[in-house]
Amino acid sequence: MTPALRVALAAVAALLLAAPPAAAANPWRQPAHPWNIAHQGGEDEFPSNTLYAFKRALAAGADMLELDVGVTRDNRIVVSHDTTVDRTTNGHGTIASQSLRALRRLDAAYWFSRRGPDHYRHGRPASAYPFRGIATGRRRPPPGFCRTDFRLATLSEVLRAFPHTPINIEIKARTKAETTDEYVRNADVLARLLRRIHRRDLIVVSFRQQAVDRFHALVPGIGVAPGIAGAANWLLAGGSPGDGVVAFQLPITYKLGDQTLQVTTKENVARAHREGYAWHTWLSDDGESPTIWGSLLDMGVDGVMTAKPKQFAALLRRRGLGHELHGKPPTR
């Protein structure tokens, strides 16, 4: 072997070692067939974060669920988007101040209305709330469902109900103070649960990077998405988003003081792909429409966290991107 050839081979080897992992190695990379991720189970179409919503969203065309978790007074992990139960249930107070037994008595579909745009507005006529009373036994559930599908669920119940469905789990605080210490404590409780179940078709995320880092340190086999600090370090400083990151989960825009930053762009998505990461966009702050969805698909995003999974599924079908084309992440 000539000296010149040895130098050339060494250079190629160095490039291969420095290269990011191939896109095929990351199962969350799906730009050709994007994930239809039902945010809160599709809160504009079904009652937020209920088993009924998750079942209906999957039947309507979603292929991944997004949910939020917090810890009760007695250290149980429940699925709820909000710090308090006031917006969606017939109860009051924070998740952290109540026991699981007390939360079980609530009607998690009490304030859900199909009338838009605010599907949880209080004070409408009782007829506007089609699922009110099912959880408490005052009304019969729809065929194929049971009353427990309309109460606050535990994360364990959701994992048992959907053993082969990819799930995105967001760690939140559940007191009004929402301290970083609480986020980290909740990450500890979640880690204790998830390291016993041996699933790998999950992504864990939190706005607080400390919670993401803590969870990853305890359960390194489950992929994470970065918090605000990790995402900002990657976006603004060109640094690492943190250990264990498999996907960015970010909005289209982000308010920083009086500035509006464009976060989901074709350039950022392409850079994430080059570095081996997936890109999932959530839309809570940017609104949803076929036009917005179409623009995201044109940017090559790998998934959309939508409050309208049924409508988004219809758009994917029109584009020939139905969820049945997916290669699923490994379950072990």
- Write down the residue that tokens 């080897």 correspond to: 13
Out of 33, 81, 119, 326, pick the active-site residue. Answer: 81
SS3 labels along 122-153: CCCCHHHCCCCCCCCCCCCCCCCCCHHHHCCC
Out of 39, 119, 280, 326, pick the active-site residue. Answer: 39
Q: Is 39 a catalytic residue?
A: yes
User: Both tokens of residue 332?
Assistant: 């072990």
**237 in the Ramachandran plot: left (φ > 0), alpha (ψ -120 to 50) or beta?**
alpha
The alpha carbon of residue 98 and the mean position of all alpha carbons in its chain are separated, in whole angstroms, by 24
Check the CA dihedral 255-26-70-192 and report its sign.
negative
Q: Say how far apart CA 205 and CA 225 lie, in whole Å.
A: 5
User: Both tokens of residue 85?
Assistant: 């139960």
Q: Is 326 a catalytic residue?
A: no
User: Both tokens of residue 318?
Assistant: 């029109």
Closest by CA position to 183, among listed 88, 83, 264: 83
The set of catalytic residues is: 39, 81
